[in-house]
Amino acid sequence: MTTADDIFDSALEDVFSALGVSATFDPVNETSSLSCTVWIHRAEEKPDAPLGYRISSAVEQLILEVLYSELSQVPAVGDRFLVGDKIYIVEGAAPGEYTGEIREDNDRVLKVIITPYEPLS
C-alpha cells in the first residue's frame, strides 16, 4: 500500500530530477566521494546587515539542496560539492535549518550555505 510518505518521497525525487544537476559530494573527513543530485539557488533573503548599512547583491548567499537519502549524512563545514567544473565549499546550515541532528520524519532535504571555491592565482 502506498503511503503519504511514499508519495512525498517520490515527488521530491521528481523535483530533483527536473531541477537538479549531477554533483559529487566530497566530505573532508571521508576517503570516498558520493554521487548525488543537487539544486543550487540564491537565498530568498539577504544576510542581515549592520544597522545603517546595505548588503550588496554580490554577497547574496548561495543555497545548495540535496536529498538526505543520497548522502546519509549531514554535510559539515568544509565539505565540498563538485558540480561540473565548479567546486562549492559548505559554509554551514542554511538559516532555520537543522543543527546537525537529522529527524527522520522531517529532514528529507538538506540545505546548506555554499561559496564557490576560487583558487588563488
**What's the CATH code of the domain at 23?**
2.40.10
Could you tell me the pTM of the whole model?
Answer: 0.75
Identify whether 67 is part of a domain. yes
User: Which three cell numbers, joined as nine digits, stand for 114?
Assistant: 555554499
In a domain, 10, yes or no: yes
Triad 45, 73, 24: Cα angle to 5°: 80
**Domain total of the chain:** 1
Summarize pLDDT for 24-42 with one digit per residue, the tens. 999 998 778 999 999 999 8
Residue 14 lies in a domain: yes
| Tens digits of residue pLDDT in 56-69 | 544 567 889 998 88
Q: Residue 31 is part of which domain span?
A: 4-116
Residue 105: what pLDDT? 47
